Amino acid sequence: MNAKRAGSRPLVRTDGYATLSALVDAYQASGRYVLLRREALTSLGASAEAVKKAVQRLESKRRLAVPRRGFFAIVPVEYRDAGAPPASWYIDPLMKFHGRPYYVGLLSAAAIHGAAHEQPQEFQVVTLGQLRPAVSGRARIRFFTKRGVERTPTMEMRTETGAMRVSTPEATALDLLRYPLGAGHLGNIATVLSELAEKMDPERLADVARSEGELSAAQRLGYLLEQVGAPQVAGSLESFVSKQHPRYVRLRPDRSAKGAPKNARWHVLVNEEVETEA
């Protein structure tokens, strides 16, 4: 990892820059890859319209990416073709810009934990309240809404430019079943779980399900863990589920369960045959 990017951030002189390009160069030289519009206005002493035009020029040259109005990501030369650095480089300051708690989750978190059949096509973030997707270059950040997001267990993971919050393997597994449309079809979820199970602790998994009250997701997760050959990981989860006296839930919520076999252990209506991907 580049020590300048990941280490301490030297202060950037805040005035005396003749152009936005010079300011961007100074930020990058000090290891900073995010610039806010208010910082540019203060540093350049220019009008809002002048800064807007300067941003547009640098954006057209792929020197700046603009995932949100007023928030600029500095693009190093190795990411010029992509039009923006990876979302992991600026997700933490972006969420601070929005003033929202967050964590990287679902397939993006699974990939970070080493459980990804293929690289996710979008960067998936769970937060409090709705946010429209952020698109910057080839990168697309998709936001999922969750009440009590602060209660979800997370880990601080180092990035090229600092750090970001990522859901633990156990919380990631539950979210895959809580947001099935974001995680792809059940076969994809099962494939990810087959790899993620190696990183999961049975007791922590049950604790997460208990603290978040995710009974239906826990039922589906327990069933799938058994299907992918990880029943030992689901042991404590079964104890939590059985004590809740659960009702039967459909394995695939958006499909009819008429005539579907019943799995009595997890109280799941198996309305789709699940196959992992090779």
What pLDDT does residue 15 have?
Answer: 56
- What residue ranges do the domains of the chain occupy? 3-85, 88-269
Query: Could you tell me the two tokens for 7?
Result: 């280490």
Q: Which residues are within 8 A (CB) of 260 and not within 5 positions of it... i.e. 6 or more apart?
A: 250, 251, 269, 270, 271
pLDDT for 278 equals 54
d(CA 236, CA 207): 9
Question: Does the 3-85 domain belong in CATH 1.10.10?
Answer: yes
- Tell me what pLDDT residue 6 has: 39
Backbone angles phi, psi at 238, to 5 degrees: -65, -40
Q: At residue 215, does pLDDT exceed 70?
A: yes
Amino acid at residue number 51? V
- Sequence-ordered list of residues with C-beta below 8 angstroms from that of 38, at least 6 positions apart, any chain: 70
Q: Using an 8 Å Cβ cutoff, are 111 and 120 in contact? A: yes
Residue 4 has pLDDT above 80, yes or no: no
pLDDT tier at 7, thresholds 50, 70, 90:
very low
Query: What mean pLDDT is predicted for residues 94-115?
Result: 96
Q: What angle do CA 97, 98, 103 make, to 5 degrees?
A: 100
Supply the pLDDT for residue 11: 44
Tell me what the mean pLDDT of segment 52-63 comes to. 96
Averaged pLDDT of the chain:
91
